[in-house]
Structure 1
């Protein structure tokens, strides 16, 4: 087991996370803390970190040191970014941190900051081609990703704090000042030749991007509060941008979802994102809740696991395995694997009947692999608990809607239940067509679950024959198997199968 802390000392905020790598190699977040310390405030004018900002940082760091002692954390990866990197007294401040707290902190370059942000995104969002930007208080890092690889990256010393101070944009916004800021940012970004008209989605890291996600979710009455992998269209961004840049300072603070801590910085941040949209030609922004800290962790985890590279080839598969690993010995992996195998065979051999493709299969397999996780809460109603857990688990590679659909499929693996539907608040995230698919796929999962009712993995193979309005399911068992219980349980689903697929189901055991 390994306990690890990561500290990210930025220009606007300081963040602390504690993670644990278990003996089974699964990892989990144990603790998180974030404070707005405005370390970079005044840096534009003085070129040094202010005593007030350093004091705020040290206060937090002393708290984090105590937390590490309580949690028995021996390994701390601590980095400082643009504010400390650009300040004349940055190195001196790190020496002071070490002397007062015992924490050893390193300044990282802008290029390394961009790379770590890339690792945080590429391991948690299923985009092979995109432009990643990490907008901080004193710098912005941009990385162009093609086919999953970082092909270009750059760090530019402009950020939400420094731009706000440079153009005095804390209060009411003058239209001329805003245009001056936009021209300044555009000039800085236009010098990057590979950035023009790249025609890929943009992925935003940092407080400004996250705050836009929160505002858009409130504006859209979005039921799910998850920020990571939330997508904002260009149209929605422009609507929010207009509100932010035309309201008075007092009215701007009333925008639903806008953090009070960021109300004075949001205009400058919005100007940067607006410019990125314009120059790149992108039509949407995916907001990432994962960035530098996650990149640092994945880098550490790769070394700990002796991996060739700090990247996962299949982020959904890895995150499902990791989530199962965090649940401990309560999981019957042999049963899970058997149900998943039979579910996949049913889906593939009934494709003529249901007509679904690879993406739907992926959602069904996700549901199958995690269908019983709700037992960790309570055996009774565990299918409903599984639905909630799957919908909120740290799974990567699915959209919000897809993750919810996988949860719904698992939620009905003991039969279609109106009780489950009424109890689940996110039902409106699925369309009528989605619900038709959910009912069909959950029926297949229910059949697979019933075939392993006794947890003996008696079904070795299946073969399906389709005739007019009749499905003959032949189940081949292991030698000497007793299949009475499984046969009885599967026959309880025959009526549901007929309703969903319009065909009679006949079971044959051999």
Structure 2
């Protein structure tokens, strides 16, 4: 049986149970996600006592989760609570009741811990090395500033989407006057932290409200990709979502695609937090992290014991996971990259094509996952490769880079390339499209030289004679299969070089 772990996150708005299963790559994959909209914040009195009704609701929810955790026979369940329990004067009584009435031991996180775990989730799932993070819950908002993947500042504000709505909004939807008062309050709060101001770095947001903002924006623009992790928006996009939401009645907001119905009355106050903070930071972009508090706790509790709390390279970690999930042999990847390196050096020397360092990086990445769709079906491996890479979350790659990787790693021919790029044609200028096609053709050619996975092609020597490109390929085995594939694939390079290519396979 595979190892399974659970985490229960007792928030001010929702209580959530997430179950993870350890994959053969070692990665923890989410297999269950159960949410209860308890709104515990509503049961916290002015004197910060969680009422008996609120405690009973919490215990009842945890007992319902207990049935699920027992069924899954989990190795371990981590149970944490955030703002509402943290702010409750009767916190000790609640902790004791949870332990006496359920299988769980509840740990109440400090604001600093909550902020730290959010930071840990972001740096282990994106390649952004400097940013401000924001995680808005129901009863608190955590912000951090990190640089070179090192946490420098953090703070937990004692307000969240639910408490802001209670304090500033009389009905279900704020009036313009209420929004103005909320905006002024948030401006004053954020100005109290000088390290937030004018940083001009990405603002990375976590949590359900941020996810809903992104989902609404994706639906507004009929976004052609799956997934929200590392989705990027600018200030004007936040304002577009704000304009839409403030133009709708509460009933219309509740029916809005992409928005959880239970967040209908919280989404505008939450969006105001993002908008004001974006302006205070002078942010370069608004980026969603699908990974948050729960993932940060897992990085520390379940991954740190086996190594460092930070992955040395997020993207390399993602490629390692892909290799494990799709049975990619890393020795073959290494060999193809060695062949590519030889090709790049000589193409540059002969000035056949201007290959940049970014191109080299893109080809190395694509060689790692080239035609991984073979794992599903050999005949349609190009189509499966493109679909998997374009639609699978790859930690460390922004959405445009993910599509670029998918286009290179799935390259088969020009017609299929045009079919794949059609929904994204506005993302890439014509010259960039031609360059991506060339990179795909070159990676495909290098792969054809290792067609039988025997690594027999050792050395490539390129010359030019009489308007033709001569490639001498030295092998230490029977090369007929490799020769056949290379002859088939050289035409894609001939079209780009605008010269015929003569292949001369030789025994080394």
Secondary structure of 1:171's aligned partner: coil
Matched, 1:442 2:440: yes
- State the alpha-carbon separation in 2 of the partners of residues 40 and 469 from structure 1: 76
Secondary structure of 2:223's aligned partner: coil
C-alpha change, 1:171 and 1:193, in structure 2 (3 Å) is same
Deviation (angstroms), 1:207:
1.6
C-alpha change, 1:451 and 1:44, in structure 2 (3 Å) is farther
Aligned match of 1:36: 37
- In structure 1, runs of 5+ residues without a counterpart are none
- State the alpha-carbon separation in 2 of the partners of residues 338 and 429 from structure 1: 35
Deviation (angstroms), 1:429:
6.5
Matched, 1:392 2:388: no
Are the counterparts in 2 of residues 198 and 280 from structure 1 also a CA contact under 8 Å?
Answer: yes
Secondary structure of 1:215's aligned partner: helix
Aligned match of 1:499: 495
Aligned match of 1:79: 80
Aligned match of 1:291: 292
Aligned match of 1:489: 485
Alignment of 1:356-505 (within 5 A): 356-412=355-411, 415-416=412-413, 418=415, 422=419, 426-428=423-425, 430-431=427-428, 432-465=430-463, 470-478=468-476, 481-505=477-501
Superposition RMSD in Å: 2.5
C-alpha change, 1:31 and 1:259, in structure 2 (3 Å) is closer
Aligned match of 1:67: 68
Deviation (angstroms), 1:420:
7.0
Deviation (angstroms), 1:389:
1.5
- State the alpha-carbon separation in 2 of the partners of residues 43 and 72 from structure 1: 34
- In structure 2, runs of 5+ residues without a counterpart are none
Q: TM-score, normalised by structure 1?
A: 0.91
Residues 99-149 of structure 1, C-alpha deviations (whole Å, 9 max, x = no match): 222111201111111111001111111211111111111111111111221
- State the alpha-carbon separation in 2 of the partners of residues 503 and 300 from structure 1: 58
- State the alpha-carbon separation in 2 of the partners of residues 423 and 23 from structure 1: 31
C-alpha change, 1:96 and 1:24, in structure 2 (3 Å) is same
Deviation (angstroms), 1:466:
5.3
Q: TM-score, normalised by structure 2?
A: 0.91
- State the alpha-carbon separation in 2 of the partners of residues 467 and 272 from structure 1: 65
Deviation (angstroms), 1:353:
3.2
336, 340, 357: which one aligns with 1:339: 336
Secondary structure of 2:40's aligned partner: coil
Deviation (angstroms), 1:34:
2.9
C-alpha change, 1:471 and 1:201, in structure 2 (3 Å) is same
Deviation (angstroms), 1:254:
5.2
Are the counterparts in 2 of residues 227 and 287 from structure 1 also a CA contact under 8 Å?
Answer: yes
Secondary structure of 2:96's aligned partner: helix
Deviation (angstroms), 1:370:
1.3
Secondary structure of 2:41's aligned partner: coil
Alignment of 1:215-230 (within 5 A): 215-230=216-231
Q: How many correspondences in the alignment? A: 502
Are the counterparts in 2 of residues 301 and 310 from structure 1 also a CA contact under 8 Å?
Answer: no
Deviation (angstroms), 1:9:
1.5
Secondary structure of 2:46's aligned partner: helix
Stretch deviating more after TM superposition (230-239 or 341-350): 341-350
